Amino acid sequence: MTTAAARRHERRVSPVFLAILAVMAVTGWAVWTDFAASPGLAVFLFVTSAWVVSLCLHEYAHARTALHGGDITVGAKGYLTLNPLAYTHAVLSVVLPVLFVIMGGIGLPGGAVFIEQGRIKGRWKHSLISAAGPLANVLFAIVCTAPFWLDALDGVPLAFRYALAFLAFLQVTAALLNFLPVPGLDGYGVVEPWLSYKVKRQIEPYAPYGFFIVIALLFVPQINNAFFDAIDALMRGLGVPEFSRYCGSQLFRFWEGAPEFCRVQGLS
């Protein structure tokens, strides 16, 4: 295989990602047309598949930026194919975030692709590579909320509107959590190149636990309230009513049964 052919192969979109994208499209259509017998199940499948797509785009953004920054090994590792199974920590990158959405309805940051830092020259490049992932979530959130802040919801079915609001909520929470300057999260990767060697050495022993410390802190009522107050403020700023996001999360948990005021069948 020639070098050019190898590069094309390394950047070919994975059939796994295309399959996930197809699930998102089909279930999104089912939600929009009210075709599904169970709107809640359709919303669950649509939001879950769209969430996995966003996780793939998050990791792809890291890898693509690293490629342009000097790490030419990301292609051979499969990171440019958007295949979630190619990630260094597939469980942390995909499985765990999906489980957290199902159990807690929060956009948990995933793992990370492995970047060969020695190939990247310049602090700005290192910071940009770390920022690229959560910026992909920000872009996804903008797309999801565009119908709300553009006041373009006329004719949009309620079920789809609620699903879009909940999906946007997941993207906003993921972006905000990822941008925290905590070791193990992308926010720390943004500031880490600018820290002194001494400070980095002091932080290094705690780096593997930063992610889990953040999750534990979210169970502290005061911190949890402050975090979700910030999320709610951002969502309101993007024009997404709290009611729509709440009903989206309730429809997503179809096994619990959505409240009567969130019902969508028979409504337009």
Q: Which residues contact 177 (CB under 8 A, 6 or more apart)?
A: 107, 108, 109, 185, 214
Report the alpha-carbon distance of residue 191 to residue 185 in Å, rounded.
11
Catalytic residue among 10, 59, 116, 204: 59
Best CA proximity match to 125, nearest among 66, 196, 192: 66
Report the alpha-carbon distance of residue 192 to residue 189 in Å, rounded.
5
Enclosing H/E stretch for 105: none
The token pair at 256 is 């619990």
**Catalytic status, residue 260:** no
Q: Which residue has the tokens 């890291």?
A: 62
Active site residues: 59
